[in-house]
Amino acid sequence: MTNDVLDCALGHARRYLAGLEDGPVGSTIGLEGLRERLDKPLGREGLPASEVIDQLVRDAAPGLVASAGGRFFGWVLGGAVPAAVAADWLTSIWDQNAALYACSPAAAIVEEVAGAWLKDLLGLPMQASFAFVTGCQMAHVTCLAAARHALLKKRGWSVEEDGLAGAPAVRILTSEHGHGSIARAVGLLGLGRKNIVRLATDTHGRIEPLALADALDGTRPTILVLQAGDIATGAYDDFETLIPMAKAGNAWVHVDGAFGLWAAASPTKRQLMRGAAEAHSWATDGHKWLNVPFDSGYAFISDADAHRAALSYRAAYLTHDDDARDQIDWNPDWSRRARGFATYAALRQLGRAGVAGIVDRSCEHTRALVEGLRNLPSVEIVSEPVVNQALVRFRDMRAGAGEADHDHRTDAVVERVNASGEAFFSGSTWNGRRVMRISVCNWRTNAADVDRTLAAIRNALA
């Protein structure tokens, strides 16, 4: 029975991948339609496993978004390279609990090895500790928990034992544009969103050094969050200038590099990361630019002792190993998926050149999309690509049209492109104006996808 349902799933998987070229990119069904298809009475008796899978595939199909394919440019999602998908399947078959070395020696060693590969690829200090987490959001939580521990310990306060009530307030300096996952991490860790200080940026979203100088006082516990790749513009903060300033002001420096940290893996983009290795912690994703399936983020922390002190826990029923790396000492989870296998497989399939190739090609395709749009009537390039992100606005060409009309037309064009099923984009607001985001992070995207997407946008403009 197990084999039958796996054969059945393999068949569906093959057909899904084969259909990525021809099928619509966006979902083709509304909320009510999906509920009708999927909301079945939960019967007393179960169903044969293959029947469950056949029905699931049939019912879910119109509500799936082809973000695994090459013409999906919404948000910052990423696809999945074949070896990583296959390793991810086997992770479920093996069903290891990657909490402790003792629960799965292979899962522990694979994380140990892949963690070292990642530090090397990303140009981070080799003595940094790391954690394989669910995504960049939890990487921020992990890194900022270590920061909170270190900053308060210096002031004679054990936050893990004593809590935060009565502790000195920790300030979090970040850009006006900083990603929302930072505010969520700050909220979860009890640091208080009111303690976030938004620093002024230049027009690309990079923190102004003078704004940082004004905010640092050298005495209050402070975390500076810098960006390697702004979610909207892809801009990189000036690490070489800002990190030494922050360190002189006794701040902990954390880098949000959810997608942008991967520039370090490309010889042609690496200069964007100059000076970033001097920070205290770094957060990034495997499921974005590396193209590992979802459920893959990484936290790196230069002060391994602070990291371990913030997260480690000992319980009588656990079996700890003195020589191996028990993941529970570094991760916020207890039981957890052995997510290291997928990363390990992706890195081995791609090699250094393969990772650099995904980064470079995504940047080239982003540039090609922008160049293809630049001279079309009504197109305004709001943000030129630094890496794989760009912002475009579609102006309303009627006489007397104002910003609100341009906003409206921009959203309408995005909707029309998405409704065509040929490509998928998401919108955003940048400096108060609606824009279409271009985000290329899928290993499958090729020049033909770019041409087909440009044709779909031209159609939508017509």
Ligand X SMILES: *Cc1c(COP(=O)(O)O)cnc(C)c1O
Q: Strands 281-285 and 252-256, how do they pair?
A: parallel
Nearest to 409, CA basis, from 381, 435, 372: 435
Q: What is the DSSP letter of 278?
A: G
- Residue 171 burial (10 A CB sphere; 0-12, 13-18, 19+): buried
Q: What is the DSSP letter of 20?
A: T
For residue 362, CA distances in Å to 250, 375, 451, 456 come to 37, 21, 14, 19
Please calculate the CA angle 93-98-101 and round it to the nearest 5 degrees: 120
| Binds ligand X by CB under 6 A, chosen from 129, 137, 331, 453 | 137
How many alpha carbons lie under 13 Å from residue 14 in its C-beta half-sphere?
A: 6
Q: Strands 426-430 and 433-439, how do they pair?
A: antiparallel
Can residue 88 be called a binding residue for ligand X (CB under 6 A)? no
Cβ-based neighbour number of residue 168 at 10 Å: 15
Smallest separation (angstroms) from ligand X to the CB of 139 = 7
Binding mask 226-245 for ligand X (x = CB under 6 A): ---x-x--------------
Based on CB atoms, which residue is closest to ligand X, 135 or 385? 135
Smallest separation (angstroms) from ligand X to the CB of 36 = 30
Which 323-352 residues touch ligand X, going by CB under 6 A? none
| Binds ligand X by CB under 6 A, chosen from 110, 128, 136, 438 | 136
Stretch that binds ligand X, among 22-30, 130-138, 300-308, 334-342 (CB under 6 A): 130-138
> Cα–Cα distance between 436 and 427 in angstroms, integer?
4
- Residue 183 burial (10 A CB sphere; 0-12, 13-18, 19+): middle
Smallest separation (angstroms) from ligand X to the CB of 291 = 13
Stretch that binds ligand X, among 43-51, 129-137, 393-401, 442-450 (CB under 6 A): 129-137
Residue with tokens 């940047």: 363
Which 179-208 residues touch ligand X, going by CB under 6 A? 179, 181
For residue 15, give the amino acid letter: R
- Residues 408, 33: contact at Cβ < 8 Å? no
Give the three-state DSSP class for 232.
coil
Q: Can you read off the two tokens belonging to residue 59?
A: 């019912």
Q: Can you read off the two tokens belonging to residue 420?
A: 């065509």
Based on CB atoms, which residue is closest to ligand X, 148 or 179? 179
Can residue 285 be called a binding residue for ligand X (CB under 6 A)? yes
For residue 24, give the amino acid letter: P
Based on CB atoms, which residue is closest to ligand X, 70 or 135? 135
Smallest separation (angstroms) from ligand X to the CB of 213 = 24
Q: Can you read off the two tokens belonging to residue 254?
A: 């954390």
Smallest separation (angstroms) from ligand X to the CB of 299 = 11
| Binds ligand X by CB under 6 A, chosen from 88, 111, 256, 407 | 256
Smallest separation (angstroms) from ligand X to the CB of 425 = 16
Stretch that binds ligand X, among 134-142, 205-213, 232-240, 407-415 (CB under 6 A): 134-142
Stretch that binds ligand X, among 110-118, 120-128, 135-143, 333-341 (CB under 6 A): 135-143
Nearest to 128, CA basis, from 379, 331, 305: 305
Can residue 76 be called a binding residue for ligand X (CB under 6 A)? yes
Smallest separation (angstroms) from ligand X to the CB of 290 = 11
| Binds ligand X by CB under 6 A, chosen from 72, 157, 236, 259 | 259
Smallest separation (angstroms) from ligand X to the CB of 134 = 7
Smallest separation (angstroms) from ligand X to the CB of 243 = 18
Based on CB atoms, which residue is closest to ligand X, 216 or 279? 279
- Count of residues binding ligand X (CB under 6 A)? 13
Stretch that binds ligand X, among 48-56, 255-263, 302-310, 336-344 (CB under 6 A): 255-263
Based on CB atoms, which residue is closest to ligand X, 104 or 388? 388
Please calculate the CA angle 387-390-392 and round it to the nearest 5 degrees: 165
| Binds ligand X by CB under 6 A, chosen from 24, 26, 221, 297 | 297
What is the full DSSP assignment across 105-160? HHHHHHHHHHHHHHHHHTT--TT-EEEEESSHHHHHHHHHHHHHHHHHHTTT--HH
Q: Can you read off the two tokens belonging to residue 244?
A: 């030494």
- Residues 265, 359: contact at Cβ < 8 Å? yes
Q: How many helices (H) and strands (E) does the chain have?
A: 14, 11
Smallest separation (angstroms) from ligand X to the CB of 285 = 4
Based on CB atoms, which residue is closest to ligand X, 76 or 150? 76
Stretch that binds ligand X, among 54-62, 254-262, 346-354, 358-366 (CB under 6 A): 254-262
Based on CB atoms, which residue is closest to ligand X, 254 or 409? 254
Smallest separation (angstroms) from ligand X to the CB of 216 = 23
Stretch that binds ligand X, among 11-19, 96-104, 133-141, 405-413 (CB under 6 A): 133-141
How many alpha carbons lie under 13 Å from residue 426 in its C-beta half-sphere?
A: 15
Interaction site with ligand X (CB under 6 A): 76, 135-137, 179, 181, 229, 231, 256, 258-259, 285, 297
